[in-house]
Structure 1
Amino acid sequence: MKVAVFSCKPYDKRTLATFTNEADLSMTYFESRLSMETISLVKGFDAVSCFVNDDVNAEVIRLLKQQGVNTIALRCAGFNNVDLEAAKAEGIKVFHVPDYSPTSVAEHAVALIMTLNRKTHRAYHRVKEGNFALEGLMGFNLAGKTVGCIGTGRIGAAFCRIMKGFGCRVLCYDLSPSQALIDHGCEYITLEEIYQQSDIISLHCPLNASTHHLINKHSLDKMKDGVMIINTSRGALVHAQEAIDALYTGKIGYLGLDVYEQENKIFFEDMSSHIIQDSVFQLMLTFPNVVVTGHQGYFTIEALNHIAQTTVDNLLHHQSDSSGARQLA
């Protein structure tokens, strides 16, 4: 099987190569993303492998079929960037990686909480400049605080367990409550109650019509003043401009983002010598109580190895297998 691998960075190539050495796969690596502009690259391939910001819309899928591609192997859990109905109609199989070390993303969410709370990002630069003053670096104890977790799948559940370890009261919202989390001392309540009671709210839900811009002026108005918002899931869960408005008023006291709605234009690339053409994003970065990372929550060696192995398994077997992979279309 000939596979065109898009959005492929050196670390992706290294881990994929490890698991294809013994496999009957021929992989060609492209750093560019799959889109209408790059669709011509798939000529002569049987399958494509894509990542979170590849644009696999209906027209791209139609052209993939024309070129003879019969399989799309996503190297991520999310699939909102793929038109599954179009893929099904064209007879193209779509696979993803539903479980690639949930603790990686959960631990990154906690890292954002700790950074924002204890202001280690600011302290680091102060000390580098010989400034050891503590004024402006005051934090708070996590023990006893109320943490709201929206979405308790594998990642959300891992996050909840960590926060219980800090001594937090953990409130959860999910359409399918987890008895294991309830047994662990977590409480399932309504979304409205999450907004009203939480000191910290962390998002671990998929992006769909019901969760698009879940954090907006209307939901923020229901929250405590100074609430901490953490998003390591999908960028469009947060309405960026309305979050900025809430930062100005103090409604949001802390904002930690590993994802951003317009990230496909900037994330995963070195933009240090470019002017980023996104005034909302640039404004967000000026706030001292905002920490943004470039979609690195998943970025651990354990997660990359699991993603690579599951992707190879998907391409080889074309069906659900012991790796935890799942066919979407």
Structure 2
Amino acid sequence: MKILFYGAKDYDQQFFDKLKPEYPNIEFVFIESNLYKETASLAAGNDGICAFVNADLSAGVIEELHHQRIRLILMRCAGYNNVDLAKAKECGISVLRVPGYSPEAVAEHAMALVLTANRHTHKAYIKCRENNFSLNGLMGINLYGKTAGIVGTGKIGLAMARICQGFGMKVLAYDPFPNEKTGLIYVSLGQLFSSSDLISLHCPLTPETHHIVNRESISHMKDRVILVNTSRGGLICTEDLIAGIRDHKFFAVGLDVYEEESDFVYEDMSEYILKTSTVQRLLSFPNVALTSHQGFFTEEALTNIAETTLENAEAFRTDMELKNAVSL
């Protein structure tokens, strides 16, 4: 079985190559080009392709993959909102994902963003490098005794809840499918927004959750709330977020994902003029900390991603149960 890896970085190849001896019947081919309609024809001669969150798997691309006789799409990530599942089903292409790789990796990064944006450590680091040791503009707030609102209580949301509890915070949770075994206090989304000092988003991007943070929901939040998003950029309406920041609604904002990231995420764009100014506007605010979709980026998570992706490929190759299949 031959699998073409689109958008592969050196670190991707490093972790998959470690496992290569365990899968002698699967051949890996890595290319730097990401998956778009223009590059889908490169899949010719392969049985399947492997893609990441920034790949284009819209209907037109899947149609071309089908034309190239691709039978399997392996997502080396948990999210699959970029995949046209209806078209994949129509074309008889199986879609498999990595539902859980290291929830602690993402949750720990979420808290790192909270601490960075709250205590302005990104600004303090730059100031100290320039021999500026004043504390002006660096004041934060204590998390201890505050209320954290966790939107989505899957494995990552639960990991974030444990971290917040470790900081001495009261934790509220919202999920359309509450897990009562967690011992968390579940409330309505509206109550969570209005009661939380920290709001952390850990839900998938669906039509129901698209722009779950918008002008109206922001208006119900506490003044000086902290907001962090390590899930998907589309959960937040960026224009409404910017308006809220300008209105001093937020004490701090930490973003590992944002709406316009798909075209340049994981790429060095330092020599280019970006087509839109959303990122620049966000970076212009002193209480905003941005990172480049790196919440998953730990050795443990990349190991788990490689292991599960190859287990998925082997299950497909040997006609075993596809336990990580994605369907409509």
Q: Tell me the TM-score normalized by structure 2.
A: 0.96
Residue range with higher mean Cα deviation, 268-277 or 212-221:
268-277
Contact 2:251–2:287 under 8 Å retained in 1: yes
- Amino acid aligned to 1:10: D
| Distance in 2 separating the partners of 1:250 and 1:320 | 52
Mapped pair 1:16 → 2:20: no
Matches within 5 A, 1:260-275: 260-275=258-273
Q: CA deviation at 1:276?
A: 1.8
Q: CA deviation at 1:277?
A: 1.7
Q: CA deviation at 1:89?
A: 1.5
Mapped pair 1:33 → 2:34: yes
Matches within 5 A, 1:44-193: 44-182=45-183, 186-193=184-191
Q: Deviations over 1:37-94 (max 9, x none)?
A: 1011011111000000111111211221121110011000000111111111211111
- Amino acid aligned to 1:35: Y
- Amino acid aligned to 2:160: F
Mapped pair 1:194 → 2:192: yes
Contact 2:205–2:234 under 8 Å retained in 1: yes
Alignment identity in percent?
Answer: 46
- Amino acid aligned to 2:214: N
Q: Which of 296, 299, 316 does residue 298 from structure 1 map onto? A: 296
Q: CA deviation at 1:110?
A: 0.3
Contact 1:258–1:297 under 8 Å retained in 2: yes
| Distance in 2 separating the partners of 1:292 and 1:108 | 11
Q: Secondary structure of the residue that 1:259 maps to in structure 2?
A: coil
Q: Secondary structure of the residue that 1:141 maps to in structure 2?
A: coil
Paired residues, what number?
Answer: 323
User: 1:4 maps to which residue?
Assistant: 4
Contact 1:4–1:47 under 8 Å retained in 2: yes
| Distance in 1 separating the partners of 2:233 and 2:163 | 23
Q: CA RMSD in A?
A: 1.1
Change (3 A) 1:181 1:273: same
Q: Secondary structure of the residue that 1:21 maps to in structure 2?
A: helix
Q: CA deviation at 1:280?
A: 1.8
Q: CA deviation at 1:290?
A: 0.6
User: 1:242 maps to which residue?
Assistant: 240
Contact 1:314–1:320 under 8 Å retained in 2: no
Q: CA deviation at 1:226?
A: 1.4
- Amino acid aligned to 1:94: V
| Distance in 1 separating the partners of 2:48 and 2:147 | 46
| Distance in 2 separating the partners of 1:21 and 1:120 | 43
Residue range with higher mean Cα deviation, 292-301 or 244-253:
244-253
| Distance in 2 separating the partners of 1:121 and 1:181 | 34
Contact 1:266–1:276 under 8 Å retained in 2: no
User: 1:229 maps to which residue?
Assistant: 227
Q: CA deviation at 1:127?
A: 1.0
Matches within 5 A, 1:314-329: 314-318=312-316, 319-320=320-321, 326-329=324-327
| Distance in 2 separating the partners of 1:88 and 1:124 | 50
| Distance in 2 separating the partners of 1:288 and 1:301 | 31
Q: CA deviation at 1:129?
A: 1.1
**Structure 2, unaligned stretches of length 5 or more?**
none
Contact 2:256–2:290 under 8 Å retained in 1: yes
Q: CA deviation at 1:209?
A: 0.6
- Amino acid aligned to 1:6: Y
Q: Tell me the TM-score normalized by structure 1.
A: 0.96
Contact 1:172–1:188 under 8 Å retained in 2: yes
Q: Deviations over 1:135-171 (max 9, x none)?
A: 2211121110011010000100000011011100101
